[in-house]
């Protein structure tokens, strides 16, 4: 966010405004789609089906729940 100086009761205060979005910057969803399409299907098939529910097991080696 861009900030500029404002005044309230004679006291300088920060004023925040949303940053302008450049049209040349792709949305995060498009970036994720592009990156996902670069992963070979053989690698996608190797991902465990229970990865999201058992993430601690796969990352830290804790017992499965």
CA 5 – CA 3 distance, rounded (Å): 7
**pTM for the whole thing?**
0.45
Q: Which residue ranges make up each domain of the chain?
A: 26-65
Q: What is the largest CA-CA distance in the chain?
A: 65
Sort 49 into a burial class: Cβ within 10 Å, 0-12 / 13-18 / 19+: exposed
Residue range 5-62, pLDDT digits in tens: 556 677 777 777 777 766 676 789 999 999 999 999 999 999 999 999 999 999 999 9
């Amino acid at each position: 966010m861009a900030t500029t100086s404002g005044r309230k009761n004679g006291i300088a205060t920060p004023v925040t405004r949303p940053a302008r979005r450049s049209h040349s910057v792709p949305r995060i969803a498009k970036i994720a789609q592009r990156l996902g399409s670069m992963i070979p299907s053989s690698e996608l098939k190797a991902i465990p089906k229970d990865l999201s529910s058992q993430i601690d097991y796969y990352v830290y080696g804790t017992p499965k729940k």
